[in-house]
Structure 1
């Protein structure tokens, strides 16, 4: 594919074009590179299920990176095609990561949106609350104290024992007895 001053006949020509861009910002050399590689990059990206418009945009971004980083090209380390397609591949990976992060952020932000409760859910919740209150009334005062401190205030068993000035084993026994009584009263809710 000839362009004004440059004709590409082999891979050495491609490497020379990149080196010309690096050395003197040769616009004709870059135009030849762009004309040669942009359609190829776009085709490869489209084969990986990227939409045509996005593939074209990414191909242009890859070629812009070639323009900006041409001085980093080293023909001893990689051929021109390998170097340019690596740039395109890395840009594609960056796009995929951004899309993935965006999807994760959307999922996370949606977690905090509370949907209004449905009428049947409100009825179920109020019925459960009524039944739990009734079951709690079947506990002894001592059992109710340890249950409130443990489950409603989130205190550790050792802290409850110190606060109530009773042995740790007594706290655990009262909680176990209270749970058994609640389980008997609320069997179908547990």
Structure 2
């Protein structure tokens, strides 16, 4: 019967196989799954696999019954693994990045900030004022020039000089 299904997709031969093995596979699945609905679904999947793979059956390797029940067992194993596989939880603490940086990174950041503050204290007051306005108050160069009554070129050159002095002071500390 299985050979007829594999060679020519004989529907009558498959119906005979289904009537004979369907209830046996269902009972086997019910025993393994302990769930009649799951057993029915697994039996249907098994018989569908038998229909699709009938051409692969080799009588030299075993009996039809062994082949069909091997398919059934493998499908049950796959279903069991899927059912037992944990679902991905994006809120799991293992997957959520820490809000707090590691201590060494935080310490290094504090050291850099301290070096920057010490370097800023060495700047002339007019350069320091321009840096604060430009970077802490986020004022544009034209706004700073208008507010302080300075030419735009003077604002830019003082900021450039301040950067050069900060860069030199920070390079000395590394």
Category of TM-score, reference length = shorter chain: 0.5 to 0.7
Q: Which runs of 5+ in 1 are unaligned?
A: 1-16, 113-148, 165-190
Asked if 1:153 is matched to 2:134, the reply is no
What are the superposed Cα offsets for residues 58-104 of structure 1, whole Å, 9 maximum, x if unpaired? 10110010000100000001110110000011111111111122xx1
Residue 24 of structure 1: how far off its partner (Å)? 1.0
Number of paired residues?
Answer: 106
Residue 48 of structure 2 is matched in structure 1 by 64
User: What secondary structure, in the 3-state scheme, does the structure 2 residue paired with 1:153 have?
Assistant: helix
Q: Of 8, 24, 34, which aligns to 2:18?
A: 34
Q: Following superposition, which runs of at least 4 residues in structure 1 exceed 3 angstroms of deviation? A: 149-152
Change (3 A) 1:94 1:150: closer
Residue pairs, 1:8-87, within 5 angstroms: 17-87=1-71
Q: Of 74, 87, 98, which aligns to 1:105?
A: 87
Change (3 A) 1:52 1:21: same
Change (3 A) 1:82 1:110: farther
User: What secondary structure, in the 3-state scheme, does the structure 1 residue paired with 2:62 have?
Assistant: coil
User: What secondary structure, in the 3-state scheme, does the structure 1 residue paired with 2:87 have?
Assistant: helix
- Normalising by structure 2, we get a TM-score of 0.53
Change (3 A) 1:51 1:109: farther
What are the superposed Cα offsets for residues 129-167 of structure 1, whole Å, 9 maximum, x if unpaired? xxxxxxxxxxxxxxxxxxxx9467165xxxx7xx99xxx
User: What secondary structure, in the 3-state scheme, does the structure 2 residue paired with 1:78 have?
Assistant: coil
Q: Which runs of 5+ in 2 are unaligned?
A: 94-101, 116-174
Change (3 A) 1:152 1:41: same
What are the superposed Cα offsets for residues 96-133 of structure 1, whole Å, 9 maximum, x if unpaired? 111122xx115x34536xxxxxxxxxxxxxxxxxxxxx
- Normalising by structure 1, we get a TM-score of 0.49
